[in-house]
C-alpha cells in the first residue's frame, strides 16, 4: 500500500464486509453514518475497532473512514488487513486528535458522523440507539454512549463541567452514577469524543475541533459548549454501551508528566474562554459567548472577475501563531483581488482555518487548502511565505523577499 497517497483502499478480506459498505457500492446519498476512526501506530487496535463496528451498526448503511495520523511504515502496512470498503486517509505526520477528526469529517459523505477512537469497541446496535436520540430529543447537537472499562465497570455516564472549568465524568474512577442516569437519554454538559455522534453539517458549521486545544484535551468539552451557544444540546444515552481501553494511544505519545502539563495548559485556555458563563450559569440565565455558525462559500462562488491567484504558505502547520495570523490577515485583505489558497507541510482542514480566523478576529469565507509542494509555486501570480520559512536552510531566496511581514505592511 502506498503511504504517500492521500486516499487509498485497504486490500484483503480478513474482516467480514457484509454490513459495512463503501459509498461507491451504495452511493453517497444512501449513506446514513460516516464512522471516523483515528490510527497512530496502533493498527491492531484499529482493526479490532473496525470489526466491532459490524456489531454496532446493525442494519444501518455506513461508511468507515480511517485517518492514519503519520504511523510508522510497518504499522501502516498492517492496515492492508482492512476491507476494501474502508476509506483510508494517510497523513505524513501526527496531526493529533482534533485536526485528524476534522479532516475525516470533511471527507465524510453521510448525514451523520460518528467520531470513534480506535481503542473503543461498539456493542450490538449501539449506533441505532444513538441515532434514535436525534429523533426524540429536544434540539440535539451531539449524543454519546455509556463508556465501560474492559471489565464492565462504568467509565463515563455523561460528563459535566464545574464552575472552575474542570470536568467531572460520572462513574469515572468508581464515582457514583445517579440512579436517574442508569437508563434513558439525558442532557449533559458534554460527552467524551472517544465515541460521539453528530450531524456532519452541524459539526463543521461550529468549526469542528478548535486548534486552540492542540494537541489534546478539553476539545470535546469546548465543542459541546459551542454547540450549546447555537441552541443545541449534548445528550448521554444510557442504553448504548461501548467498551473503552482508555489512553491506549495517548499513553504511547506522552509521558504522564507531559500529559498532566497538557491538561493544565488546556484547562487554562478553556476556562479563559468560558469562565463568565461557567461561573454564573447556576445563579442566573447566563449568556454564552457568541459562536455563531461559520459560513463557508464553496470555491465556485469566487467572483468571476477575480483572475489572479494568491498562495499563502505556512512554514509548518496552520496554528495559533503570529506567522499564521499574518497570513490570514493578508488573505482577508486580498480576497477581493485574488483567489486565495492556503498551503502547509501537511493536509489542513477548512474547519481549522475557519476556527483560526475566528480566534484571531478575522473574517474570511472563501479559500482553498492544499498540501504544499514546490511544483505548485508557478501556478500562482502571488506567493507569500510565512516568516518561519526563513529559518529553513534549504528554502530558495524567494522566501527572503516575499515574507508575510513585508506583504502585511503593504496590505494595511
- Cell numbers 443545541 label which residue? 232
Closest CA to 396 of 313, 324, 340: 313
Closest CA to 75 of 39, 100, 41: 41
- Termini Cα distance of the chain: 48
Q: Can you tell me the distance from the alpha carbon of 250 to that of 40, in angstroms, rounded to the nearest whole number? A: 9
- Cell numbers 450490538 label which residue? 124
Torsional class of 240: left (φ above 0), alpha (ψ -120 to 50), beta (otherwise): beta
Pair 96, 216: CB distance under 8 Å: yes
Residue by residue, pLDDT tens for the chain (412 residues) are: 555 433 333 322 233 333 343 445 456 668 999 999 999 999 999 999 999 998 899 889 999 999 999 999 999 999 988 999 999 999 999 999 999 999 999 999 999 999 999 999 999 999 999 999 999 999 999 999 999 999 999 999 999 999 999 999 999 999 999 999 999 999 999 999 999 999 999 999 999 999 999 999 999 999 999 999 999 999 999 999 999 998 766 667 778 899 999 999 999 999 999 999 999 998 888 888 888 777 666 554 555 556 799 999 998 899 999 999 999 999 999 998 999 999 998 989 999 999 999 999 999 988 999 998 888 888 999 999 888 876 665 555 444 445 565 555 444 3
Residue 403 has a pLDDT of: 55
Residue 393 has a pLDDT of: 56
Residue 290 has a pLDDT of: 81
Q: Can you tell me the distance from the alpha carbon of 193 to that of 212, in angstroms, rounded to the nearest whole number? A: 16
Burial-class residue 61 by CB neighbours within 10 Å (0-12, 13-18, 19+): middle
Residue 356 has a pLDDT of: 95
Phi, psi of 370 (to 5 degrees): -140, 150
For the CA atoms of 41, 216, 105, 37, what is the dihedral angle to 10 degrees? 30
Spatial CB neighbours of 301, under 8 Å, sequence gap ≥ 6: 366
Pair 153, 247: CB distance under 8 Å: no
Amino acid at each position: 500500500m502506498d503511504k504517500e497517497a492521500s486516499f487509498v483502499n485497504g486490500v484483503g478480506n480478513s474482516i467480514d464486509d457484509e454490513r459495512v459498505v463503501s459509498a461507491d457500492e451504495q452511493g453517497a446519498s444512501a449513506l446514513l453514518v460516516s464512522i471516523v476512526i483515528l490510527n497512530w501506530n496502533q493498527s491492531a487496535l484499529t482493526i479490532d475497532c473496525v470489526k466491532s463496528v459490524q456489531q454496532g451498526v446493525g442494519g444501518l448503511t455506513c461508511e468507515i473512514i480511517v485517518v492514519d495520523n503519520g504511523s510508522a511504515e510497518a504499522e501502516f502496512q498492517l492496515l492492508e488487513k482492512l476491507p476494501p470498503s474502508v476509506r483510508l486517509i494517510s497523513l505524513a505526520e501526527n496531526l493529533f486528535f482534533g485536526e485528524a477528526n476534522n479532516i475525516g469529517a470533511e471527507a465524510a459523505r453521510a448525514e451523520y458522523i460518528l467520531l470513534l477512537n480506535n481503542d473503543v469497541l461498539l456493542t450490538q446496535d449501539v449506533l441505532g440507539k444513538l441515532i434514535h436520540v436525534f429523533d426524540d430529543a429536544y434540539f440535539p447537537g451531539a449524543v454519546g454512549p455509556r463508556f465501560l472499562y474492559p471489565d464492565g465497570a462504568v467509565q463515563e455516564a455523561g460528563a459535566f463541567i464545574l464552575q472552575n472549568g474542570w470536568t467531572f465524568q460520572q462513574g469515572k474512577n468508581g464515582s457514583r452514577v445517579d440512579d436517574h442516569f442508569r437508563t434513558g437519554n439525558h442532557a449533559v454538559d458534554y460527552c467524551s469524543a472517544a465515541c460521539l455522534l453528530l450531524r456532519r453539517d452541524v459539526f463543521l458549521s461550529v468549526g469542528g475541533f478548535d486548534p486552540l486545544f492542540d494537541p489534546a484535551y478539553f476539545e470535546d468539552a469546548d465543542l459541546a459548549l459551542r454547540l450549546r451557544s447555537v441552541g443545541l444540546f449534548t445528550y448521554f444515552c444510557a442504553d448504548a454501551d461501548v467498551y473503552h481501553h482508555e489512553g491506549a494511544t495517548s499513553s504511547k505519545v506522552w509521558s504522564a508528566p507531559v500529559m498532566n502539563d497538557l491538561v493544565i495548559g488546556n484547562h487554562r485556555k478553556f476556562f479563559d474562554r468560558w469562565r463568565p458563563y461557567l461561573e454564573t450559569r447556576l445563579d442566573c440565565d447566563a449568556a454564552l459567548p457568541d459562536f455563531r455558525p461559520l459560513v463557508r462559500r464553496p470555491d465556485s462562488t469566487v467572483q468571476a472577475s477575480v483572475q489572479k491567484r494568491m498562495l499563502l504558505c505556512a512554514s509548518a502547520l496552520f496554528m495559533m501563531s503570529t506567522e499564521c495570523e499574518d497570513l490570514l490577515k493578508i488573505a482577508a485583505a486580498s480576497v477581493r483581488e485574488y483567489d486565495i489558497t492556503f498551503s502547509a507541510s501537511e493536509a489542513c482542514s477548512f474547519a481549522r482555518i475557519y476556527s483560526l480566523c475566528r480566534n484571531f478576529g478575522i473574517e474570511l469565507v472563501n479559500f482553498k487548502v492544499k498540501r504544499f509542494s514546490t511544483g505548485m509555486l508557478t501556478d500562482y501570480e502571488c506567493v507569500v511565505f510565512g516568516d518561519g520559512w526563513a529559518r529553513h536552510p534549504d528554502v530558495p531566496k524567494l522566501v527572503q523577499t516575499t515574507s508575510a511581514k513585508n506583504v502585511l505592511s503593504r496590505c494595511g
